[in-house]
Amino acid sequence: MARLVALYRVPNDAASFDKYYFETHAPIAKKIPGLRKYEVSKGPVGTPGGPSAFHLVATLHFDDLAAIQSAFASVEGRAAAADMQNFASGGADLLMFESGEV
Amino acid sequence: MARLVALYRVPNDAASFDKYYFETHAPIAKKIPGLRKYEVSKGPVGTPGGPSAFHLVATLHFDDLAAIQSAFASVEGRAAAADMQNFASGGADLLMFESGEV
């Protein structure tokens, strides 16, 4: 299994971000081929010491890294990536990795 | 459900980090009360454009944020947190959040 984690930094307007994310971006992202599961943080993204620099964390599950690479190359994946500029005003970090249970 | 995500930045010595993480730290972390599932990245943590600043991503699953807070307050949780200074030479970011499927 592999994960694509999108770490969205605190945006200029959190309410607008949330509205766009759930009403527009998530439906686009859900069309990405090979996506097995799509998890999104609910409420604040904290640290043990208090607030974090992040507003939202999305975790997309795929079978393996090859599936993530195929997803990025797909029409649907390119649409989801391009859509990020429409709402991620604080920027975002994308991390991708194979994952296993320990 | 809630997640505690540990993002370990690239350490000084990756081989020593890995040996310590899997032989010593993971067994300590697995004793944390309330831990439901423990996932760790395997191989490189990349970005769409190439390598990331991170060496390893650990995702710990708990029932809710209250369970994470209880875990941090426990003897086992404090031991796991204290042990991080023994191997995380590049530093680490800890993020905690409630999570749901979309």
pLDDT of residue A71: 97
B43: which DSSP letter?
E
Which chain B residues contact residue A3 at CB under 8 A?
A: 41, 57, 59
Interface test with A, best of B4, B54, B94, B96 (most A CBs within 10 A): B96
Query: CA angle, corner A8, sides to A94 and B73, nearest 5?
Result: 100
Distance, CA of A60 to CA of A35 (rounded, Å): 7
Q: What are phi and psi of A46, to 5 degrees?
A: -105, 175
Distance, CA of B37 to CA of A69 (rounded, Å): 26
A84: which DSSP letter?
G
Half-sphere exposure of A9 (CA within 13 A, CB side): 9
pLDDT band at residue B67 under the 50/70/90 scheme:
very high
Q: Which of B74, B89, B102 is nearest to B4 (CA)?
A: B74
Calculate the average pLDDT of chain B.
97
Is B50 near chain A, with CB under 8 Å?
Answer: no
Distance, CA of A84 to CA of B35 (rounded, Å): 33
Quick one: average pLDDT of B56-67? 98
A83: which DSSP letter?
H
**pLDDT tens sequence across A48-101:** 999 999 999 999 999 999 999 999 999 999 999 999 999 999 999 999 999 999
How many C-beta atoms lie closer than 10 Å to residue B18's C-beta? 14
pLDDT band at residue B46 under the 50/70/90 scheme:
very high
| Paired tokens of A62 | 């795929």
Looking at this predicted complex, what is its ipTM? 0.96
DSSP letter string over B51-93? E-SEEEEEEEEESSHHHHHHHHHSHHHHHHHHHGGGT-TT-EE
